[in-house]
Structure 1
Amino acid sequence: MPREIITIQVGQCGNQIALKFWELALKEHAEYNKSLIYDEALSSFFRNVDGRGGVQKNLPCGSNITDLKARSIVVDMETGVINNKILNGELKDIFEARQCVSDQSGAGNNWARGHLECGPKYKEEIEEKVRQAVEHCDSLQGFFFTHSLGGGTGSGLGSYILKDLADLYPSVFRFSTCVFPSEDDDVVTSPYNSMLALNVLIENADCVLPVDNQALFDIVSRIDTQYQAQAHKREEKSSGAIIKQGSAITDPMALTEKKGGVGAKPVRHYERENSIVAHVINNLTCSMRFEGDLNVDLNEITMNLVPYPRMHFLLSSLSPLYSVLQPGNSQLAPRGIDDSFREAMERSNQLIQQANPLEAVYLACGLIVRGPKVEISDITRNVEKLQKRLKMVGWNKEGFKVGHCYQAPLNQPYSVLTLANNTSTRTIMQRLRTKFMKIYKQKVFVHHYTEFMDQSHFDHCLETCEEVIESYKNMEEKYLGKWGELDDEEEIVADAYRFRPII
């Protein structure tokens, strides 16, 4: 059975998210693997090596944990994150310089430079590092990308690597977790970069988890506001306890700093936003790292949640979020597992800001539940509720894929991760199209891109984006208000694409 995942972390954002994930994964395995034995679950993301004698030797499953190394390729066209956080940070022991590809010049916040200059320049070096990582795998399951789309490295070089690996390893699944820029992104060319990268993801990725920076900001602000309100209530009841403004607990602006003098915009550090994404990845991969009665791997997610090749964008949501942003604060927790299922479907928990899945149509829905006290009956009960509540396409009314992992996330009794192939996912593409057209109509900064590519490529990428938007829109219009009845053609589709029952 395919097992190992090779993580491709590209650019500053991609590397910072990946670092958070590796930190979480190591903490969970330290908590739950008290035997210190290198097992198959641990081998999915880590190698166990013996470096005595100056020559590394891979140790087999069943051996004692000696020296864990992340199955990862680290890429950035600037050296800051790699030198300071990867090779010399708290997790430096799981990385090696031989895994890293870096440069001094950067990609200039330009997709074309990252894709068409940096890509060919580092093609052979990256391919060789990937080849070595693949050779260390017994049964490679997939490549897992973490990157952003707003800058030049994550969007340009990240999409170049993804496309290159699609050619080199066509049978290996390619899964991308990519961050879309927020409304007030400080990179003025981010709409160009995102549109050009999105085209590559549409054509070459098997599954994409789009994450909206604006949604992350909103979630962090909401949780902080809720906690601050509770803190003030406790203060009123106490005998003069003082809540200090500006603390990382009570003030959403505490994780920002101002640069540039009076009137300057606060500079975000994105630590908690990155933590949310890392927790999503952590829960997404838990079935590959731990045991459970309904384990799900990345291949199964793709096979069960992607009915059409280009419509492979999954809307994600995680509940509870209180422990991600306010560790140790149980007062913000849902009251029970049923509340977590409900909360995971709410609009405010979605990682795409304007997406409202309950008002749109589901092509398929994935649920990954964690916790030793969560019973199959709990899952069955909530899936049955969702079947009545969600608007599923007529040919896939039972299109739920469920995973259950016994090990709960750290500091939580349980969690629910939803992965929805939902027509509201198109909202992030529609917003990108609007921002793209706003500057493209004026041909602003286009000359920086035409140094590396023909201007017609902008039009091609816009057309591809609009085709996917239209596909989701047509699916929604067809089934809103009339799901349940199938015509003859849909009966054929349903028979050809019938999901295996999960409960």
Structure 2
Amino acid sequence: MTQSVVVQVGQCGNQIGCRFWDLALQEHAHHNQSGLYDDTTGTFFRNVDSVSWNGVCCGSANGRIQHLKARAVLLDMEEGVIGEFLKGPLRELFDSTQLLTGVSGAGNNWAAGHLTYGSTYKDEIVDQLRRAAEQCHCLQSFFLIHSMGGGTGSGLGTKVLRLLKDEFPEVCRIVIPVCPSVDDDVIVSPYNSMLAMRELTENADCVLLVENQALVDILNTEQACHGTQHAKGNIISAKDRLTGSEKPFDAMNDIVANMLLNLTSSARFEGSLNMDLNEIAMNLVPFPRLHYLVPSLSPVYRLAQVSHPIRRMDKLFSDVFSKGHQLIKAEPKRSLYFGCALMLRGDAQVSDLRRNIERLKPTVRFVSWNPEGWKTSLCSVPPVGLSQSLLALANTTTIKSTFMEMRERFQKLYRKKAHLHHYLEVDGMEESLFSEAVTSLDALIEEYRDQEAGAGKFMPVPDRLKVA
């Protein structure tokens, strides 16, 4: 049995992480009626004595009561989000050794989060990471969740990523960063995103980028189609057990949390074709720096009709190759694929995967040296309230458009040197770090362009499919 540790940094990272833990517990409670602690539960939870299931605890068959603690580290330089979470129904899921909070916050400043707080709290953070790792019998991966626009998320988040690489170089580092939208209320978010990108490129094994604007567009589309009624039994619901009242970004956080549920389903439940988390990087990342994956999810609705129709299996596969189901805003049909993972959950067969891959192959252009770049998994346990769901992770050159837009937003601000003094006032921060970050992103964009330029025309469709 392998285990993974989730590291949540900043307001955004902790809000998404809280939704993941809440929904993961609901899944385990729904599918583990006996309440026994087993290998699937142990992937993200450890067992200690306590009271009852309640979505957090479970009783064993011999009467001994077992209590779950999340394999997680929660970091924030403000107390608000973590403090509120610890007052809620899931407060028993963590103990003080898993939490680190500050008081004043990083002031939306990457330099303050990365250099100031990163240095001040380095030893405490390393101790917490080591403690979490030591509680795992076979540590397989770290999941790091943070924002790109805020000071704590971008700055301290990427500092933690560097510490993970230094302390656990052999453990896979999967990062879920949330990119700000164009009209983000943090005016210096282009600075924070640019500085964070360099760290992500150098220190992560896999990066699953999520864009706020893509999440907003998904919600707007679903609301226009289905109104404001919630689907009964739908796992995507921010009011299930937390507070009973919806808060800003809850709906967006739910979508990302459900993406994580699908991503980790093979590690948490049985299936006829399970995918090891380490296999994601091994199969989808052919070049160390080109490790940015585009996640697409179907169904990916939040607001839906009470009697939501069951989606046909083939529709799930078509959805994940469309713009409306991507968690970043990009054009998938104009891109070149290095590899693509299809992670299917629920009542399905391997033949469903094979049939749909054959159907989609003429529309998906792979690099010439990897024409059969499909990686597949099949988990027999569906999400709560759904019969099937599908997550696609695509390593594709379409992501360079996201980077180009990020660079353009940065340059508009940087040309005027607007707000630059706030960064240069921080000890250890030099303007050369901005230049190095831009150079790193330029090189990354150029690598994607080189791959496209050398790809040539569409490869002919092979006669036979080889599913990994």
**Offset of residue 303 of structure 1:** 0.5
2:292 maps to 1:318:
no
The 5 Å alignment of 1:177-326 reads 177-228=176-227, 269-322=248-301, 324-326=302-304
Number of the residue aligned with 1:72: 72
- Select the structure that is richer in helix: 1
Question: Is the alpha carbon distance of 1:305 and 1:66 closer, same or farther for their aligned partners in structure 2, counting shifts above 3 Å?
Answer: same
CA distance in 2 between partners of 1:191 and 1:16 (Å): 22
What residue in structure 2 maps to residue 348 of structure 1? 324
Q: Which residue of 405, 430, 434 maps to 2:404? A: 430
The residue that corresponds to 1:237 in the other structure is none
* Contact 2:337–2:365 (8 Å) recurs in 1: yes
Counterpart of 2:153 in structure 1 is: 154
Q: Is the 8 A contact 1:394 1:484 kept in 2?
A: no
Cross-structure match for 1:244: none
| Partner SS for 1:145 | strand
Larger radius of gyration: 1
CA distance in 2, matches of 1:385, 1:141: 34
Q: Residues of 2 paired with 1:143 and 1:105: CA distance?
A: 27
For 1:441 and 1:74, the matched residues in 2 are separated by: 36
Paired residues of 2:230 and 2:305 also in contact (CA < 8 A): no
Partner amino acid, structure 2, of 1:181: P
Matched-pair contact (CA < 8 Å) for 1:212–1:428: no
CA deviation vs aligned residue, 1:17-40 (integer Å, no higher than 9, x gap): 011111110000001111211111
**Is the partner of 1:363 in helix, strand or coil?**
strand
Distance 1:438 1:268, change over 3 A: farther
**Is 1:389–2:363 an aligned residue pair?**
yes
Match in the other structure for 1:460: 436
1:18 match: 17
Q: Deviation per CA, 1:255-306: give whole Å up to 9, x if none.
A: 9xxxxxxxxxxx9801111100000001000000000011112211111000
* Range with bigger deviation, 124-133 or 43-52: 43-52
1:249 deviates by: 5.7
Deviation at 1:62, TM superposition (A): 10
Deviation, 1:382, is: 0.6
Confirm or deny: 8 A CA contact 1:363 1:393 kept in the other structure: yes
**1:10 Cα deviation from its structure 2 partner:** 0.4
Q: Quick one: structure 1 residues 430 and 293, their matched pair in 2 at CA, closer, same or farther if it must change by over 3 Å? A: same
Amino acid at match of 2:355: R
Give the TM-score, by structure 1 length.
Answer: 0.84
Structure 2 CA distance, aligned partners of 1:51 and 1:279?
A: 28
Counterpart secondary structure, 2:369: helix
1:314 counterpart SS class: strand
Query: Aligned AA for 1:73?
Result: V
Q: Deviations over 1:48-99 (max 9, x none)?
A: 01269xxxxxx9x9996611000000000000011111x1112112111221
Mapping for residues 484-499 of structure 1, pairs under 5 Å: none
Q: Is the 8 A contact 1:38 1:62 kept in 2?
A: no
CA contact (8 A) 2:50 2:65 kept: no
What residue in structure 1 maps to residue 54 of structure 2? Answer: none
Q: CA deviation at 1:425?
A: 1.1
> 5+ unaligned residues in a row in structure 1: which ranges?
53-58, 229-246, 256-266, 486-499
In the alignment, the residues of structure 2 paired with residue 422 and residue 327 of structure 1 have an alpha-carbon distance, to the nearest angstrom, of 33
Equivalent residues of 2:266, 2:274 under 8 A apart? yes
Deviates more, 1:385-394 or 1:187-196: 385-394
Shift of 1:212: 0.5
Structure 1 residues 283, 160: closer, same or farther in 2, change over 3 A? same
1:136-161 C-alpha deviation (Å, 9 max, x unpaired): 11010011011101000010001001
| Cα distance between partner residues in 1 of 2:153 and 2:147 | 5
SS in structure 1 opposite 2:146?
strand
TM-score where L is the length of structure 2:
0.91
2:467 paired residue number: 502
Counterpart in the other structure of 1:420: 394
The answer to whether the Cα contact below 8 Å between 2:229 and 2:304 also exists between their aligned partners in 1 is no
Deviations 1:377-397 (A, max 9, x none): 111101112222200001111
Question: 1:300 aligns to what SS in structure 2?
Answer: helix
Contact conserved, 2:271 with 2:378, CA < 8 A, in 1? Answer: yes
**Distance change in 2, residues 1:220/1:17 (3 Å):** same
Matched, 1:171 2:170: yes
Q: Flag the 1:115–1:403 CA change in 2: closer, same or farther, 3 A.
A: same
Q: Is the 8 A contact 1:37 1:65 kept in 2?
A: no
Output aligned runs, 1:7-156, within 5 Å: 7-50=6-49, 66-85=66-85, 87-156=86-155
Across the aligned residues of Structure 1 and Structure 2, the Cα RMSD in angstroms comes to 2.2
Does the Cα contact within 8 Å between 2:6 and 2:71 map onto a contact in 1?
yes
**1:337, distance to aligned residue in structure 2 (A):** 0.5
Q: Distance in 1 between matches of 2:359 and 2:149?
A: 38
